C-alpha cells in the first residue's frame, strides 16, 4: 500500500512536517489567545488545535505514501505501439460501441479507461488526476478522496492558525518597535494567508471537477484524449449529475469499470 518513505519525496515531506510544527510552536510561544488559554488552564482549544494539526500531518503522509492506483500487471495479450502516448492512441473506434484496448507505450501494461502514465512515478495510474509535487505522489483513483479530505482539513488548520496569529499582535509606539516585537508573527500570518489561499483554490477546483465527474488531466487535455475528443464541448460521458457524482466519489469504494459507464451499460464495481 505504501511506497518507500525514504524515496525522492523524503526532503519534501520532512520540510512540510518541520514547517507545520515550527509554525504551531510559534503560535504557542507568542502572546496569542492559544498561549493565554494554556496559561490559564483552559486547554480545550489548544488541545483541539494540536490534534487538528496532527490529523492534517497524518492525512498528508497517508496521501503522500499511498498507492494512488498504480497499474502493476495484467494478463491480457493485446497489441500495443511503442512510444505512443495515451492521448494519441484511440480507445474508441468511430461509429461503434466497442472498446479498442491499448497498452501503455512506456510500461507496456494494459490501460483501463481514464488511466494515464505518470513519467515522474513511472507507472500508469487508474483514474489519473495529476502528479502533485506537494505530496510527491500522483493523485488517482485510490487516494483522490483522501487528497480532497486532506485539503479540507489543511484549510481549516490554516484559517484557525491565521486567526490565532491575529490575536497575538501587540501595540507599540511606532511601526519599527511594532515590527520588532511582531515581525515573526507577521511573517507567520502572511505565510498562513498565502497557503490558505492556495489550498482554498485547490479545494474549490477539485470539488468542482468532482461534481462534474472529471479529472484535472481530462479537464486540461480534453481535446487530446481519444475517448473525450469525439464528444461535444459540453458533453461528459461520465457525468451523472452533481449529487450522484459527489456520492460516487466520496461514498463508493472500489474500482469502477469506466468503459461500462462510458457506453451506459452499467457501472458495476470490480
Catalytic site residues? 132
User: Is 265 buried (19+), middle (13-18) or exposed (0-12) by CB count in 10 A?
Assistant: exposed
Residues belonging to the chain: 270
Within-domain flag for 2 = no
Within-domain flag for 3 = no
Residue 187's alpha-carbon distances to 27, 38, 162, 184, 215, in angstroms, are 12, 23, 11, 5, 35
Please report which confidence band the pLDDT of residue 105 belongs to, taking 50, 70 and 90 as the band edges: confident
State the residue for C-alpha cell 513519467: 119
Within-domain flag for 84 = yes
Residue 80 has a pLDDT of: 40
Within-domain flag for 267 = no
DSSP letter, residue 169: P
Residue 243 has a pLDDT of: 96
Q: Under the phi-then-psi rule, with left for phi > 0, alpha for psi from -120 to 50, and beta for the rest, what region is 189?
A: alpha
Residue 118 has pLDDT above 90, yes or no: yes
Cα(270)–Cα(260) distance, integer angstroms: 12
Cα(179)–Cα(65) distance, integer angstroms: 40
Lowest-pLDDT range, 7-11, 98-102, 118-122, 243-247?
98-102
Cα(151)–Cα(10) distance, integer angstroms: 20
Q: Nearest CA to 262 among 240, 234, 242?
A: 240
Cα(219)–Cα(199) distance, integer angstroms: 19
Mean pLDDT of 67-87: 61
Cα(203)–Cα(66) distance, integer angstroms: 19
Within-domain flag for 135 = yes
Domain of residue 198, residue span: 10-262
Residue 1 has pLDDT above 50, yes or no: no
Q: Nearest CA to 115 among 94, 98, 129, 131?
A: 129
Residue 6 has a pLDDT of: 53
Please report which confidence band the pLDDT of residue 223 belongs to, taking 50, 70 and 90 as the band edges: confident
Summary mean pLDDT of the chain: 85
CA–CA–CA angle 85, 74, 261 (5° rounding):
70
Within-domain flag for 1 = no
Residue 79 has pLDDT above 50, yes or no: no
Residue 254 has a pLDDT of: 83
Within-domain flag for 270 = no
Residue 240 has pLDDT above 60, yes or no: yes
Within-domain flag for 4 = no
Residue 99 has a pLDDT of: 56
Instruction: Give the chain's domain count.
Output: 1
Residue 131 has pLDDT above 90, yes or no: yes
Residue 173 has pLDDT above 70, yes or no: yes
CA torsion angle for 85, 86, 88, 91 (degrees, to 10)?
140
| Strand, helix or coil for residue 170 | coil
Reported as type and span, the H/E element at residue 132 is strand 130-132
- Quote the cell numbers at residue 169: 499582535
Convert the pLDDT of each residue in 185-207 to its tens digit.
Answer: 999 999 999 999 999 999 999 99
User: Is 41 buried (19+), middle (13-18) or exposed (0-12) by CB count in 10 A?
Assistant: exposed
| Strand, helix or coil for residue 246 | helix
Cα(206)–Cα(221) distance, integer angstroms: 16
Amino acid at each position: 500500500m505504501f511506497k518507500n518513505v525514504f524515496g525522492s519525496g523524503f526532503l519534501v515531506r520532512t520540510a512540510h512536517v518541520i514547517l507545520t510544527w515550527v509554525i504551531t510552536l510559534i503560535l504557542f510561544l507568542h502572546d496569542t489567545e492559544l498561549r493565554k488559554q494554556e496559561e490559564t488552564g483552559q486547554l480545550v482549544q489548544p488541545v483541539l488545535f494540536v490534534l487538528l494539526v496532527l490529523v492534517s500531518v497524518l492525512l498528508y503522509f497517508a496521501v503522500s505514501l499511498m498507492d494512488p492506483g498504480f497499474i502493476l500487471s495484467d494478463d491480457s495479450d493485446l497489441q500495443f505501439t511503442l512510444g505512443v502516448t495515451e492521448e494519441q492512441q484511440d480507445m474508441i473506434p468511430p461509429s461503434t460501441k466497442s472498446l479498442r484496448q491499448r497498452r501503455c507505450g512506456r510500461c507496456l501494461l494494459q490501460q483501463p479507461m481514464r488511466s494515464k502514465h505518470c513519467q515522474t512515478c513511472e507507472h500508469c495510474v487508474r483514474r489519473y488526476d495529476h502528479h502533485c509535487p506537494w505530496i510527491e505522489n500522483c493523485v488517482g483513483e485510490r487516494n483522490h478522496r483522501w487528497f480532497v479530505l486532506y485539503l479540507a482539513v489543511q484549510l481549516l488548520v490554516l484559517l484557525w492558525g491565521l486567526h490565532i496569529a491575529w490575536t497575538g499582535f501587540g501595540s507599540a509606539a511606532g511601526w519599527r518597535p511594532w515590527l520588532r516585537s511582531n515581525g515573526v508573527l507577521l511573517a507567520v500570518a502572511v505565510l498562513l494567508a498565502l497557503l490558505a489561499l492556495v489550498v482554498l483554490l485547490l479545494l474549490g477546483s477539485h470539488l468542482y471537477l468532482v461534481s462534474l465527474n472529471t479529472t484535472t488531466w481530462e479537464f486540461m487535455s480534453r481535446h487530446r484524449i481519444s475517448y473525450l475528443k469525439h464528444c461535444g464541448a459540453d458533453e461528459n460521458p461520465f457525468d451523472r449529475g452533481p449529487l450522484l457524482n459527489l456520492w460516487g466519489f466520496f461514498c463508493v469504494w472500489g474500482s469502477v469499470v469506466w468503459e461500462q459507464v462510458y457506453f451506459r451499460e452499467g457501472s458495476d464495481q470490480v
